[in-house]
Structure 1
Amino acid sequence: MASSDTKSPESLVTLHHLNDSQSQRILWLLEELETPYNLCLYSRDEKTKRAPPELKAIHPLGKSPLLELPDKRVISESSAIIAYLLRTGDPARRFAAHDLVQDEVLTSFAGATLGPVNGIETLFDIAEKHTPWPLKLIARTVRGGIQKVFTGAELENGLRYLEDELGEKTWFNGDELGRCDVMLSWPLDIQAQRGWVDFPARFPKLAVWRARILEREAWKRGIEKGNTYDLMSW
């Protein structure tokens, strides 16, 4: 366990962070907030690429991110963790929602709309990647069919919506990033890293938005403190 502050570790929140996972956006937010925290790093199983059993001892779901509070209560689910951190760690309300309704809509959109589409694409991506030849051709054909009748149009429609919603704004939240920006970073990172979407060519505003994130010092510190963020590794 590493601590980001000189205060007693027992008085700080603890992020239980899994490599190559959506937990990276929580680590990024902690760095943005300059919130003192403990960091416990976990690595995926080399063969299964699943989270290690040690996370089960922290929370029954055994997944990351998990935010452990000083009183030992554990918060799961990224949206809930982000909401808690912004409520307790941003007294100046620097990252407060500019538009409460739209912030809630986009935060929900990241998980409820993009989440299932990304999940299906990831499942077939992994299946094709790990299926031996010549069965790989069958997996590829099935995936192409799913893309044709469902995921392709859904992905295009969702990203076009986001491109238009961002418009000429710096962030989805306005002049400063907010909860919706942090939430949206993960599904778009998967799409970009796994090569499903050519953002510069098809969605240039989203490409610039992603570049802004990667240029932020807090993002860079989070990457340095984490234990890899390679979304092609599984």
Structure 2
Amino acid sequence: MITLYSLKQSRSQRIVWLLEALGVPFEVQSFEREPVTRFAPPIFKTLHPLGKAPVLKDGNLTLAESASIVEYLIERYGNGRFTPETDTTDYYHYVQWLHYAEGSIMPAILQKMMATDESKINYFNSQVSLHLDYVEQHLNSKKWFCGNELTGADIMMSFPCQVAMFMLPNELYPNIARFVEQVENHPAYRQAVERVGELDLHSL
């Protein structure tokens, strides 16, 4: 049995969405953030040395890092779904978006959210604009990040896009806003919400 250790109001939401989309049996143990630090509670240190969410257990395997979890679940349980065919151009674009979510756009967004030094705020704002303009342009001709079908790239990009639309007026980035609406209305995403609740970004 797959067990996902999930932190409420976090990136973990997208892993629950993927598990629902895969249609595999799983258990989710969902935890509140620590009230003062907003970090994951101490139980996560017993699951993985980093003490962060999400953590996936599947048999003898314990896995952290969202992109690694997404790749594992799709390769193990996807039966060809949620990923382009390997050794194709689409596949390598898919890999790029899969890792871009946490490797590029999310760090820029977090720096903007946490910036207090006036001398750096303009730089952080420019970096977020750079990334969002890139994503906005990419989505201009696509339903999902890799075309007309949902893939792991969309699972990974959902959270940074949700955060971006929480921070900025939707009309600035209509394609990203449309993508976020599409994510949040996806049937498997709605099933995930029934399991762990709505993503409330005000509580971050």
Q: Determine the structure 2 residue equivalent to 1:84.
A: 72
The residue that corresponds to 2:178 in the other structure is 208
CA shift for structure 1 position 123: 2.1
Q: Aligned pair count? A: 200
- 1-structure distance, mates of 2:138, 2:198: 31
Q: What is the 5 A alignment of 1:87-98? A: 87-91=75-79, 93-97=80-84
Tell me the residue number matched to 1:3: none
Aligned twin of 1:198: 169
Q: Distance in 2 between matches of 1:147 and 1:192?
A: 19
**Deviation for aligned residue 1:156:** 1.1
Structure 1: which amino acid aligns with 2:84?
A: A
Say which of 19, 22, 38 aligns to 2:11.
Answer: 22
Cα distance between partner residues in 2 of 1:55 and 1:229: 20
C-alpha RMSD of the superposition: 1.5
**Mapped contact 1:94–1:176 kept (Cα < 8 A):** no
| 1:105 maps to amino acid | Q
Larger radius of gyration: 1
SS in structure 1 of the partner of residue 56 of structure 2: strand
**1:172 equivalent among 128, 133, 145:** 145
What amino acid does structure 2 have at the position aligned with 1:61? L
Structure 1 spans left out of the alignment, 5+ residues: 1-11, 125-138
Q: Return the TM-score normalized by structure 1.
A: 0.81
CA distance in 2, matches of 1:25, 1:155: 21
- Classify the secondary structure of the residue corresponding to 1:38: strand
Offset at 1:79? 0.3
Aligned match for 1:37, one of 14, 26, 36:
26
TM-fit CA distance, 1:181: 0.9
One-letter amino acid of the counterpart of residue 108, structure 2: V
Secondary structure of 1:68's aligned partner: strand
Q: Which amino acid aligns with 1:75?
A: L
**Match of residue 91 from structure 2:** 100
> Which one is further off, 222-231 or 52-61?
222-231
Task: Give 2:109's aligned residue.
Answer: 118
Q: One-letter code of the match for 1:160? A: D
User: In the alignment, does 2:187 pair up with 1:187?
Assistant: no
Matched with 2:195 is: 225
Amino acid at match of 1:175: N
Asked if 2 retains the 8 angstrom alpha-carbon contact of 1:19 and 1:228, the reply is no
Note the alpha carbon deviations across 1:25-74, whole angstroms, 9 max, x for none.
00010011111111111111122211100111111111111001112x21
Q: Distance in 2 between matches of 1:202 and 1:227?
A: 28
Cα distance between partner residues in 1 of 2:119 and 2:188: 41
Aligned match of 1:132: none
Are 1:103 and 1:180, in contact at CA under 8 Å, matched by a contact in 2? Answer: yes
User: What is the match of residue 130 of structure 1?
Assistant: none
SS in 1 for 2:202: coil
Q: Distance in 1 between matches of 2:77 and 2:173?
A: 33
**What is the CA-CA distance between 1:223 and the residue it aligns to?**
1.2
Taking structure 1 as reference, are residues 228 and 170 closer, same or farther at Cα in structure 2, changes over 3 Å only?
Answer: closer
Moved more, 184-193 or 30-39: 184-193
Match of 2:127 in 1: 154
